[in-house]
Structure 1
Amino acid sequence: MNGSRRLPLGTAALTLTLLSVVLTGTAYAAKPVGSGKGASTEQTGGADKTGIYAAARIQYSGSVAKNGGTGNVTSSDVNWEPPPCWYAPYLGAKDFKKKMSKDIDSQMNAPGMGGHAGAALSELQRHYEDEYGWTDTPGYEDYNVENDGKGMFWAAVENPDEPDPLKRSSCNDLPFWVPNGQAPPPQYEQAITPEILAALAYQHMQLPDTKVTLAPEAITKVNLPTWAWLDKAVFDEVQATAAINAPGLNLQATTTAKPVSLKLEPGTEDAETYPASGECVINNDGSIGAPYAKGRADETPPCGLKYLRSSGNGTFKLQATITWDIAWEGTGGAGGDLPDGTFGNDQAVTVQEIQAVNR
């Protein structure tokens, strides 16, 4: 198998810069389109008007963020990051040759392309035409067209939701050939896999709003225990799926988030929480806390809080944050755990003094 790795120091920066000019769109950063909860979105470099298959589409389905943007789940692991880029099928051999030949010829004839710039382009052209390579980067004969239909050239795809351009461009290997049905060589660690798809599904997952039910609702009294709970009917596991399909490649991964606990933060230090940690664990039936009912006024709520002073003319911002246990399953039985995710909302709570009447 032929594979193309990074160029040696000295020609790498110039040649890769020229490559980005020649293969405009090779490192795709296309925004996903469409989508709402339960809908499907696509992230794609697109196909041109002739139908050339360019940059395998990633399709999202399940509970994904509106407009295909980044979801609202936040990883509890500050060191975890979704993939900034990856390698995916780009073009078949004949279409790759057509595009490369046309774009290289255009750049070679452009003003100012002499000297080192012209030499770098010439090396790039030889790499795909004459088997010219560097160290462990063997080249190709005539763009490998004798194997057209038996595989595809893979190229870099940028994650459009990664804000750091240096990270987005970290997939800087030249396009390389992968036969249909075979995995890319192991040195291409960022080649698309079910695990990468699972991380992208995590990134785009849309979690439900975390509005807890309170009793008393919205307006409570100083030193009066306020019950808080979430019913299982409105609080259940969430799934998002990312899939990629191309000639010889069909991968998918489903990421599942299961709620495990509710964290209450009263919005003021002058308050107590039940339990004292403010962390309400999930019940066996999937609910959190317990609904308040008549006759339970003297009981301590299993999940709730008590304000120790009035909110005056304003309100306290009660923050209710759910922690979600997140795992994934993918093609070929792959799977594993991802960092816990969190998502929370603020709720305005008015706290009044208990008025006493003297007679």
Structure 2
Amino acid sequence: MGILPRFDGAKPKKGNPKRAGAGKPQVPIGVVVEQAVKKLPLPSPVIRTSPDEDFVQVVHVPTWMWVQHRAWDPVSASAAVDGLKVTATALPRKAVWTMGEGGKVVCKGPGTPYSDKYAPTASSPDCGYTYRRSSHSRAGRSYTVKVTVTWDVQWHGGGQAGQVPGMAMAAERQLVVDEVQAVVVR
């Protein structure tokens, strides 16, 4: 599920609008900025976890979280109207995870995929969560986990530059969280 906020206009540097031709006013730069921003191919994040998101997460065992790293690359798009060209570049700033049991995690990057170089009980170095309660009492016996990646957009063109902050793309999925009971055998 993606979220693309309404464009609220660009905040260009102050100055007189350029004139093209014999007294014909040029298209307002905000119009061209809006077109460039609308063309940005912001990727929808894909939720990944360890333990794998298709399997059960375990209470009191660290869950590693990340979005696919290709969804964290900067993206650019350009638009041109009547000779005025604007290029917009979006840079991901943070990923905010809501974990379904009330917890929230803010990650400054895409997160680190789990690998064998880490101990099985290790917490993620940059984006993880440890569930405290099973999801079995919830509808569907699972928690709805959501990640929202916030992007900041910088644009330039026509001798001007500006920013469009806080664009976002989001995804969600269900995660089953269970408790593991130990049995002591003598």
SS of 2:33's equivalent in the other structure is helix
Alpha carbon RMSD of aligned pairs, Å?
2.6
Taking structure 1 as the reference length, the TM-score comes to 0.42
Summarize the Cα distance change of 1:82–1:336 in structure 2 as closer, same or farther, 3 Å threshold.
closer
Q: Select the structure that is richer in helix.
A: 1
Verify: 1:308 aligned to 2:132, yes or no: yes
Summarize the Cα distance change of 1:316–1:254 in structure 2 as closer, same or farther, 3 Å threshold.
same
Post-superposition Cα deviations, 1:17-41, rounded to whole Å, max 9, x if no partner, equal xxxxxxxxxxxxxxxxxxxxxxxxx
Q: Alignment partner for residue 70 of structure 2, among 233, 237, 260?
A: 233
Aligned to 1:326: 153
Aligned to 1:214: 49
Report the alpha carbon displacement of residue 224 of structure 1 after superposing the two structures with TM: 1.3
Aligned to 2:113: 291
SS of 1:289's equivalent in the other structure is coil
> What amino acid is the match of 1:230?
V
Distance 1:319 1:303 in 2: 14
Report the alpha carbon displacement of residue 225 of structure 1 after superposing the two structures with TM: 0.8
Aligned to 2:14: none
Summarize the Cα distance change of 1:323–1:234 in structure 2 as closer, same or farther, 3 Å threshold.
closer
Aligned to 2:5: 74
SS of 1:317's equivalent in the other structure is strand
1:100-179 correspondence runs (5 A): none
Q: Select the structure that is richer in strand.
A: 2
Say which is worse superposed, 222-231 or 342-351, in terms of deviation.
222-231
Report the alpha carbon displacement of residue 228 of structure 1 after superposing the two structures with TM: 1.1
- Which of the pair has more CA radius of gyration? 1
Structure with greater contact order relative to length (CA < 8 Å, sep ≥ 6): 2
Verify: 1:263 aligned to 2:87, yes or no: no
The number of equivalent residue pairs is 169
Identity of aligned residues (%): 27
Contact 2:97 2:146 in 1 (8 A): yes
> What amino acid is the match of 2:87?
T
Taking structure 2 as the reference length, the TM-score comes to 0.77
Report the alpha carbon displacement of residue 204 of structure 1 after superposing the two structures with TM: 4.7
SS of 1:233's equivalent in the other structure is helix
SS of 1:258's equivalent in the other structure is strand
Post-superposition Cα deviations, 1:51-85, rounded to whole Å, max 9, x if no partner, equal xxxxxxxxxxxxxxxxxxxx84236xxxx6259xx
Distance 1:232 1:300 in 2: 19
Report runs of 4+ in structure 1 exceeding 4 Å deviation: none
Gaps of 5+ in 2: 11-18
Distance 1:181 1:254 in 2: 26
Aligned to 2:21: 180
SS of 2:76's equivalent in the other structure is strand
Distance 2:161 2:154 in 1: 7
> What amino acid is the match of 2:148?
T
Aligned to 1:254: 87
Distance 2:44 2:165 in 1: 20
